[in-house]
Amino acid sequence: MISSIRHGASTVTVTGAILLLCAWCTQFASAVGTVAGEDINNLAQADYQIGGVAQGTVNSNTLQLFVDELLDVVVVNDNGAQVAVTSPSATAELQYTVTNTGNGSEAFRLIVDNAVAGDAFDPGLVQIYLESNATPGLQTGGGGDTIYITGTNDPLLAADSAIIVYVVDSIPAALNQNDQGFVELRAVSSTLIAQSGTDDPNNAAFPAVGTQYVGAGDQDVNGGGNVNAVVGTSHNLALLLIRARGVFEVSAALVTLVKNAVSITDPFGGATLVPGSIVEYQIVASVGGAGTAQGLIISDVLPGELEYIPASLGTNVALPAGENIDDDLVPAGVDNTGYVAGTTTVSVALGDIPGGAGNVEITFQATVK
C-alpha cells in the first residue's frame, strides 16, 4: 500500500487534477512488488489552445509517493513425508525453509510448537539451528550451523530471500509403532511483534490482514522517515502460511549410516590426496528401536575419480548364509555382497539386523585415478 505523499509548491487546474488523479491510480496499481521505501515520482501535463493557438504545456506539481512495507513470510516443511524416529530418541531432526515474501528487509522470530492437537505424543524441543556453513544438512559443534537464540539472532532476511531452519527434538520412551508427533515452526516478523505485542495467531491481539502500522516499516530511499508497515496475506488465519507442520513417526527400527575416510596413503608414503593415493573408507551402520531392519543392504556407488581395490572389502559381522565377502557375487542370485564393476558399486547384504544389536562396520579401499 502507498500512503506517504509529498507535493511540490505549484497548483494545478481542475483539468490537470483529473489527469493527476488518473496518473496516481496507474502508479498505485503497478506498485505491487516494489521495494519498501521506494519513491514513485509522477506529474500530469495539459496541452490546450486559445483561438487556435497552442499555449504550450502546463505541468502539475510532481507527486512523490513512497511504497509501504508489506509484512509477509512463508514457512515450508522440507521433510516431505513423515520423518522416522525411534522411541526414545534424544535427537530427532526436522528441516524447514523460511522465506521473506514481503518487499522489505525484516527480522523474523522463530517459534516451535510441539503441543499440537491431533497427534499421539508431544516431542520435546532440544534446539533450533540456522543453516550457516553452506553444507547441506545439519552440522553441530565447531564449524557447524548456528544455534538460534530467540531475540538475539532472529534471522534478518532481505525481500525474497530465505533461510533453512533445523528443529531438533527429543522423542519420549514407550511409544508404539506408527505413533506420530506433530511439530509446527512459525515465523513472525519482529515489526509485527513489536506493534501488536504478540506472535501467537490464537491471541486476540494478533493483527488481521491489511492492518497498518504507521511509520513502522523500512526507511524511505531518500533517508527521510519510515514508511508504514502492512500485514500481508500470509497471515490469513484460514491459511497461516507463516507456519508449517512437520511430522515424526515412530518406527520399530531405524537405520542410520555414517561414512568416513579413515586413512589416506599417497604414493610417497604420506597422507596427501593425489592421483595414486589409496583411501580406506569405513561405513558404520546402526539400527535403533525395538524392531528389526529386515533384508538390510548397504551400497556405495563409487564416483569416476575412484577405482575399487579388489579384495579390500571387509565387515565386522558375520554375513547371512550364501553371502561372501570375496567380491565375486557367486552364486548368482544368492550372493549379493561384493563389488559390481558395471555399476561401480560396493554392496553388502547384511540380512536381518535387530535394533540395538550394535554397529555394523564395513570397510573397503579405493585408489584415486
Topology alike, domains 71-250 and 254-368? yes
Closest C-alpha to 169, from 115, 235, 89, 229: 89
**Coil, strand, or helix at residue 335?**
coil
- The grid coordinates listed for 201 are 495467531
If one compares 7 and 102, the residue with the highest pLDDT of the two is 102
pLDDT, tens digit, for every residue of 149-194?
A: 999 999 999 999 999 999 999 999 989 889 999 999 999 999 999 9
Better-predicted residue by pLDDT, 205 or 47:
205
DSSP per position, 82-137 = PEEE-SSEEEEEEEEEEEE-SSS-EEEEEEEE---TTSS---EEEEEEE--SSSSS
> Of 26-35, 97-106, 227-236, 354-363, which range is least confident?
26-35
Q: How far is CA 59 from CA 8, 15, 16, 53, in A?
A: 11, 11, 8, 18
Give residues with Cβ within 8 angstroms of 41, minimum separation 6. 62, 63, 64, 65
Mean pLDDT of 298-326: 95
User: With bands split at pLDDT 50, 70 and 90, how would you rate the model's confidence at 214?
Assistant: very high
Mean pLDDT, residues 274-297 taken together: 92
What's the pLDDT band for 223 if we cut at 50, 70, 90?
confident
Q: Is the CB of residue 187 less than 8 Å from the CB of residue 108?
A: yes
What local confidence, expressed as pLDDT, does residue 188 receive?
98
Contact 217, 229 (CB under 8 A): yes
DSSP single-letter state for residue 219: B
Considering the domain 254-368 in this protein, what is its CATH number?
2.60.40.1170
Report the side by side order of strands in the sheet with 2-6. 2-6, 63-67, 39-42
For domain 71-250, which CATH number applies: 3.40.109.10, 2.60.40.10, 3.40.50.720, 3.40.600.10?
2.60.40.10
Q: Please provide the average confidence, as pLDDT, over all residues in the chain.
A: 87
**What is the tens place of the pLDDT at every residue in 191-213?**
999 999 999 999 999 999 999 99
pTM: 0.66
Average pLDDT over residues 52-79: 86
Q: What is the pLDDT of residues 232-247, one digit of tens each?
A: 999 999 999 999 999 9
> Residue 215: how many CA atoms within 13 Å on its side-chain side?
2
Range in 1-5, 31-35, 120-124 the model is least confident about: 1-5
In the chain, what are the domain boundaries? Answer: 2-67, 71-250, 254-368
Residue 8 has pLDDT above 50, yes or no: no
